[in-house]
């Protein structure tokens, strides 16, 4: 069973639809007992970093998420769910993230760092992925997915991870963006696999195969 964590964030329905498409039993829940018993756990979401952390802490879901990640169950953060796993975000100064992974969430610049052209922020649309590691170490989410496959992004902030070894996919939108990470049983994507058509379904399928 897949537990999709409910903390009043957006973009939940599309994740549940993706699980149904893949033939997986999934439940939207904020119940700690159900989340802890699930085979796989997904933390989706769109919205503001600070508001999301307040809701998570108010429901004591921060403790649950840390328990799941420490317990070895496959855990996937999507979009805001990726950002919340890290320590802090420029979007909400002074608000601490979950701190499960090390790194900061920065704002996408208004201009391309190399050519100086204006950028539309938030980034909304398709962009391709590059794999920074060796071919044999591209990450379990991306098995069978060719480099430079396109996925769908909606975000104004991006990850700069402290440890480059956990970064399994990057993209470029005026700046180099750490688009996906893997650390033990913890996985996260800045993009939306549930909205990324065949490539996204393959990513989610790969996640569900991990035990």
Q: CA-CA distances (angstroms) from residue 109 to 79, 86, 118?
A: 18, 20, 9
Q: CA-CA distances (angstroms) from residue 172 to 1, 3, 34, 149, 178?
A: 35, 31, 38, 13, 9
79 is catalytic: yes
Contact 5, 31 (CB under 8 A): no
194 is catalytic: yes
Which of the following is catalytic: 79, 91, 189, 205? 79
Contact 161, 178 (CB under 8 A): yes
- Calculate the CA 136 to chain-centre distance: 22
> End-to-end CA distance of the chain, in Å?
12
Task: State the Rg of the chain over Cα.
Answer: 16
Which of the following is catalytic: 155, 189, 192, 205? 192
Contact 4, 27 (CB under 8 A): yes
155 is catalytic: no
Which of the following is catalytic: 88, 91, 182, 194? 194
Q: Give the pairing type, strands 2-5 and 26-29.
A: parallel
Sign of CA dihedral 41, 199, 167, 92: negative
Residues carrying an active site annotation? 79, 192, 194
């Amino acid at each position: 069973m897949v537990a999709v964590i409910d903390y009043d964030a957006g973009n939940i329905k599309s994740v549940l639809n993706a699980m149904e498409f893949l033939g997986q039993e999934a439940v939207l829940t904020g119940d700690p007992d159900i989340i802890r018993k699930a085979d796989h756990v997904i933390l989706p979401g769109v919205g503001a970093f600070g508001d999301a952390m307040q809701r998570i802490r108010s429901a004591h879901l921060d403790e649950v998420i840390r328990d799941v990640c420490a317990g070895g169950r496959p855990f996937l953060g999507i979009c805001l769910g990726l950002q919340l796993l890290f320590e802090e975000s420029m979007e909400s100064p002074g608000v601490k993230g979950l701190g499960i992974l090390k790194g900061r969430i920065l704002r996408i610049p208004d201009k391309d760092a190399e050519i100086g052209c204006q950028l539309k922020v938030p980034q909304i649309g398709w962009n391709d992925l590059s794999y920074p590691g060796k071919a044999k170490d591209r990450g379990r989410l991306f098995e069978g997915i060719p480099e430079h496959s396109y996925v769908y992004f909606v975000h104004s902030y991006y990850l700069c991870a402290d440890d480059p070894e956990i970064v399994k996919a990057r993209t470029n939108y005026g700046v180099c963006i750490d688009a996906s990470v893997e650390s033990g049983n913890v996985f996260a994507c800045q993009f939306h696999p549930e909205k990324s058509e065949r490539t996204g379904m393959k990513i989610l399928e790969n996640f569900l195969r991990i035990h």
